[in-house]
Amino acid sequence: MSEKIIKSDKEWRSILTPETYNITRQEGTECAFTGKYWDHHEAGDYVCVCCGAPLFHSSDKFESGSGWPSFTQPHSSLVAEKVDRSLMMQRTEVHCDRCESHLGHVFPDGPHPTGLRYCINSASLDCKPEEDA
């Protein structure tokens, strides 16, 4: 499971939609309230849209009001973090450790119990309903 998935830019471009490519490979951000999962309430695993790695779980999802799916914690060690100094501010970027897909950012203003808010692009995720597991 910890094996890295490495594809060329051209390969990613050929298997992803333009929007998904922009967000996951070029650190884009979808517009708030436009993604498919910010208001999604079914139980299930949220996996990486690029490589299928399990990343978040619906039990950690909460209503942040931000317009993006938000989680209090990752559901696996495959969610990796790095410091992002773009846009003149310091933020913590989160990505899939297996394929380097950009997921979103984590902010220190989340609810109990972690106090963290993983603010993730819907386009970076694929929700697998519980019954299919």
d(CA 18, CA 80): 24
Q: Looking at 12-20, 67-75, 101-109, 122-130, which segment touches Zn ion (CB under 5 A)?
A: 101-109
Question: Under the criterion CB under 5 A, does residue 98 sit at the interface with Zn ion?
Answer: yes
- Indicate the SS3 state at residue 43: coil
Q: Tell the smallest beta-carbon distance from residue 38 to Zn ion (Å).
A: 20
Given the residues 48, 51, 99, 119, the one annotated as active site? 119
Residue 100: how many other CB atoms lie within 10 Å: 17
Residue that is written with structure tokens 């846009």 in the block? 87
Structure token digits, residue 113: 């119990």
Is 96 marked active-site? no
Burial class of residue 88, CB neighbours in 10 A (0-12, 13-18, 19+): exposed
Q: Tell the smallest beta-carbon distance from residue 89 to Zn ion (Å).
A: 26
C-beta closer to Zn ion: residue 103 or 119: 103
Q: Are strands 79-84 and 70-71 parallel, antiparallel or unpaired?
A: unpaired
Q: Tell the smallest beta-carbon distance from residue 102 to Zn ion (Å).
A: 10
Question: Under the criterion CB under 5 A, does residue 49 sit at the interface with Zn ion?
Answer: no
Q: What residues make contact with Zn ion under the rule CB under 5 A?
A: 48, 50-51, 53, 96, 98-99, 101
